[in-house]
Structure 1
Amino acid sequence: MGWRSVTLNHSYKFMRWIVFALLFVNLVLFAWFQTAGRPAVSPVPAGGTSMVEEGARLALVSEVSRQQLMARQPPQSQPTKPKPEPAAEQLCTLLGPFAEEYQGQDIVERLQALQVDGSLREIEMEGEMRYWVFLAPLNSRREAFRKLRELQAAGVDSYVIPKGSLANGISFGIFTEADRAESLLAELRDQGVDAQSREEPQTYLERWVVLAPGAAEKLAEDFWQQLQAEYPQLDRRQNLCAEVVGD
């Protein structure tokens, strides 16, 4: 009986320590679950406004300077500037025409003495309208000459066009009067020739002294009067610089 009593007493003490240990473990786990994962709360400042830290620190607007606020604002798109309007095409003054080159060169030298820019140029001018009667270009030069022999054998005056937009075509003549061109065209078609006609402006070269834009305004009226006295037929006009000044 004595031995059994001692054994029971030891068992009772051992079970009591196990209960205490389990209770302590439960308390520790309960405290950990209550506090784990919650963000730390900073103390309330004197102004009564709390600040919560979660990642980066939050700042009051009153604590940020004006320069910092401006830096944090998204960049504003710059207003688009209106495209400048294209400049008006410049006008050059033309003096002429001159039958001889030395006459125009003399005017250029006078202008240079007055420090006025001017140059002598040959300018292509349009004359009277011409009317061209022709046969449309053939596939090759060889075929064009074969057709030419057929036409000449039939008594039709013609020749092969050597170059240009109508190269390898057959020309029947160029006229200054539209009636004559229409008469020949009708005659050829009566003979079975599929002829055509078109208007061609007659061009020729003239010598003109070209003054840069604004240069004519630098010359005094006395200069123009003297020039007109020496060259009674002298013409003064304006034209687009791009059309009369080469590259």
Structure 2
Amino acid sequence: MRWIFFLLLIANLGLFGWFLNKDQAPAARVTAVATDVGVNTISLVSEVDSAELEAVVPPPEPSPPEVAAGAQTRAAPLCTLVGPFEEAYQGEDVAQRLQALQVDAVLRDVEMQGQMRYWVYLAPLNSTREAFRKLRELQAAGIDSYVIPKGSLENGISFGIFSELARAQSLARELRERGFAAEFREEPQTYLERWVVLTNEDPVSAVGAGEQIGDEFWQQLQLDYPDIERRQNLCSEIRQDSADR
């Protein structure tokens, strides 16, 4: 019986050892693998050092410069003005001298802006009949006035044009106190002068034709006409007499 006891003991020990080895995970075998130099490897971004990431990721390409709003426009042409001349024959003489130099020059009556004036008025009424009815009312009240016959204030009532702003403001205030909705606005005074106008020879550049003439010509012209002057202005802003157009 003793040998049966030992046989069972050995069997139990062997079974216990088998179950113990089964519960343990087998050790992982690590093998060093050489990486080929020419083969790219894949790594998570979180595992890469920031310095290495900056070296790998190329910087963004600079965007092309923005085109300025409304492409660059061509320079506005300039005109040179020489004058003014009291007599027409004087301007014609200067224009002919310039034309002899192959410069496009012509004598014109140019509209010049003078002193600012101030117009006191009532806004235009609906019809000419209403305008004259209002005029009779104003004249009955002893107020000098007249109906404006044409223009932007046609069928309005005018109380006069003044060279001093204070006088226009005072009259408009007095009329409003008497119950008339008077207003005033600026009216630039204009007059005509004779000038020789030199147009621009090269519309692309901003250099006027007058700048292309030698200093000797201008010096001689100043000796012949001491009172004249030379100035530049945008050709589009030069207004001339309607009879000369």
Q: TM-score, normalised by structure 1?
A: 0.62
Counterpart position of 1:95 = 82
TM-aligned CA deviation for residue 108 of structure 1? 0.7
Counterpart position of 2:238 = 244
TM-aligned CA deviation for residue 84 of structure 1? 6.6
Q: Distance in 1 between matches of 2:101 and 2:75?
A: 27
Helix, strand or coil at the partner of 2:154 = coil
2:214 is the counterpart of 1:220:
yes
Counterpart position of 1:107 = 94
Counterpart position of 2:189 = 202
Q: Distance in 2 between matches of 1:134 and 1:148?
A: 12
1:111-163 superposed Cα distances (whole Å, 9 cap, x missing partner): 12222210112222211111111000000111111111111121100011111
Q: RMSD between aligned alpha carbons?
A: 2.0
1:83-126 superposed Cα distances (whole Å, 9 cap, x missing partner): 97321111111111122222211111111222221011222221
Which of residues 121, 133, 136 is equivalent to 2:123?
136
2:104 aligned partner, one-letter code? D
2:180 is the counterpart of 1:193:
yes
Helix, strand or coil at the partner of 1:125 = strand
1:117 aligned partner, one-letter code? D
Judging changes above 3 Å, is the alpha-carbon distance between structure 1 residues 198 and 245 closer, same or farther for their aligned structure 2 residues? closer
TM-aligned CA deviation for residue 245 of structure 1? 7.2
Q: Distance in 2 between matches of 1:99 and 1:148?
A: 42
Which of residues 156, 160, 177 is equivalent to 2:143?
156
Counterpart position of 2:50 = none
The equivalences for 1:40-189 within 5 A come to 85-189=72-176
The equivalences for 1:230-241 within 5 A come to 230-241=224-235
Q: Distance in 2 between matches of 1:160 and 1:224?
A: 51
Equivalent residue pairs, number? 166
- Structure scoring higher RCO (CA < 8 A, sep ≥ 6) equals 2
Question: Quick check: 1:151–1:158 contact (8 Å CA) kept in 2?
Answer: yes
Further displaced range: 212-221 or 103-112 = 212-221
Question: Quick check: 1:119–1:210 contact (8 Å CA) kept in 2?
Answer: yes
Helix, strand or coil at the partner of 1:188 = helix
Q: Give ranges in structure 1 of 5+ residues lacking alignment.
A: 1-81
Q: Give ranges in structure 2 of 5+ residues lacking alignment.
A: 1-66, 201-207
Which entry has the higher C-alpha Rg, 1 or 2?
1
Question: Quick check: 1:134–1:197 contact (8 Å CA) kept in 2?
Answer: yes
Further displaced range: 95-104 or 154-163 = 95-104
Q: Distance in 1 between matches of 2:141 and 2:239?
A: 49
Question: Quick check: 2:111–2:239 contact (8 Å CA) kept in 1?
Answer: no
Q: Distance in 2 between matches of 1:84 and 1:130?
A: 40
